[in-house]
Amino acid sequence: MLAARSLHARSSRTGKYLVLGACCIFLVGFGLWLFSKKATKPVTHPQAMPPHRAEKRRPITTKKVINYNKMKKKSDAALSALMEKRKAQYGVEKSIDMIVKPDESIKIGKETVRMKKILEKVRLREGDILETDLITGAMPKETDEFGIHVVQPGENIWDIHFKLLKDYYDNKGIQLSPLADEPNPLGYSSGIGKILKFSEDLVYIYNIKQRKLDTDLNIIHPLSKIVIYNMSRVFSLLDIIDYKDVSRIEFDGETLWLPAEQ
């Protein structure tokens, strides 16, 4: 009887050792499996991060740059042809160097600037007044085009405006006298002179080197400043003025109008 009990006790201890051994083997195996999974897991490096987390910079594409330098040298036939086509629509082949859209950029010398950046500065200076067109009451559109005149040595803002006006009337078959902007014998401004004076509020001078609008209409440094015309605004004004009524135009410093005929 005693031998039977001893045998039973020995069997119980052996069973426990077997269970413990099996557990140890299981835990060791599970640990090795976890280690192998971690070792084979791909490592995410900083350069592999999704592109939306990285800062995006939009380069100015060549197709969007109107290069004044190439136009002057006539080294880009396609660009020159495009500008001639755009200018011909307004009849300003001589007075405007470039016709540029809001999503394009201009390059003069070594400086390249986006038109949108210039327009942002215009709106900021005017307190968003330009959000509504002064002539038609319409909102500016992405299809608006801007005439760019690159200032040359010896030019002043009055002469630049007069060349544009002369171009406009030449296109309509009307020859303006070189003295059309001069005061009459009594010292009063001519109708053309009044239009030119009013047009000063329709254009902007931009310093492409200092990247800012310039408020000085008299001092213009050659090849560092440009005169910008919103073509739709300027021509909306000119188109509603019949040339036979130009001599009757009145201007009070702010408003241009035609008095009622008596």
DSSP assignment of 156-222, as one string?
-HHHHHHHHHHHHHHHTT----TTTTS--TTSPPPHHHHHHHHHGGGEEEEETTTTEEE--SS---T
Q: Which residue stretches of the chain have pLDDT < 70?
A: 1-63, 126-142, 217-220, 261-262
| CB-based contact 122:131 (threshold 8 Å) | no
Q: Report how many helices (DSSP H) and strands (DSSP E) the chain contains, helices first.
A: 7, 10
- Length of the chain measured in residues: 262
User: Tell me, what's the pLDDT at 132?
Assistant: 46
Q: Is the dihedral of CA 201, 202, 206, 211 positive or negative?
A: positive
Q: Give dist(CA 161, CA 140) in Å, integer.
A: 22
Count how many Cα atoms sit within 13 Å of the Cα of residue 174 in the half-sphere of its side chain. Answer: 12
User: Tell me, what's the pLDDT at 21?
Assistant: 55
User: Tell me, what's the pLDDT at 95?
Assistant: 94
Q: Give the E-state strand segments of the chain in sequence order.
A: 65-67, 98-100, 105-108, 111-114, 146-150, 203-207, 212-214, 225-230, 250-251, 256-257
Contacts 24+ apart (CB under 8 A), 14-22: none
User: Tell me, what's the pLDDT at 49?
Assistant: 42
pTM of the entire structure?
Answer: 0.69
Q: Mind listing the pLDDT tens digit for each residue in 83-127?
A: 999 999 999 999 999 999 999 999 999 999 999 999 988 888 766
Query: Percentage of the chain with pLDDT > 70?
Result: 67
Domain residue ranges in the chain? 2-53, 62-257
